[in-house]
Amino acid sequence: MKNKHIAIAALVWLLSPVATAETNEAEIQYLLESIGQSQCAFIRNGKTHGAAEAESHLRMKYRNGKFWVDDAEQFIERIASKSSWSKKPYYIDCPDTASEPAGEWLSKKLTALRKKI
């Protein structure tokens, strides 16, 4: 009986990183889709881009910089909040709301997602 419990604990321990990685990836994909499906403008380096273009740009950055990201918070901080070239922050400008830094907008989306789960 004791060996059975040890085996189950070991299996849970081994599978835990897989589940965590899947959850992290799902959260990042949710954030990317949230940008693309929004009616918001994305301001990058002083130029305004549509939601679909913003999602595409951030997907490209994520593909190229995935090794720097372990979770959704790091995605927001390291990929989706500012230009990697100019270091200027990105902004999200949604209808009927004030423009806000993309990192703040994405963090709110992530918090709302986690409250649903």
> What pLDDT, in 10s, does the model give residues 61-116?
999 999 999 999 999 999 999 999 999 999 999 998 999 999 999 999 999 999 98
Per-residue confidence band for 22, with pLDDT thresholds at 50, 70 and 90 = confident
List phi, psi (to 5°) of 93.
-120, 105
Report the pLDDT averaged over residues 35-40. Answer: 96
Neighbours of 110 (CB within 10 A): 20
| Owner of token pair 């989306």 | 109
Q: Among all chains, which residue has been given the structure tokens 């604990």?
A: 9
Residue 2 has pLDDT above 60, yes or no: no
What is the model's pLDDT at position 14? 40
Which amino acid appears at position 82 of this protein? K
Confidence of residue 8 (pLDDT cuts 50, 70, 90): very low
User: Is residue 105 a contact partner of residue 30, using CB atoms and an 8 Å limit?
Assistant: no
CB distance 31 to 80 below 8 Å:
yes
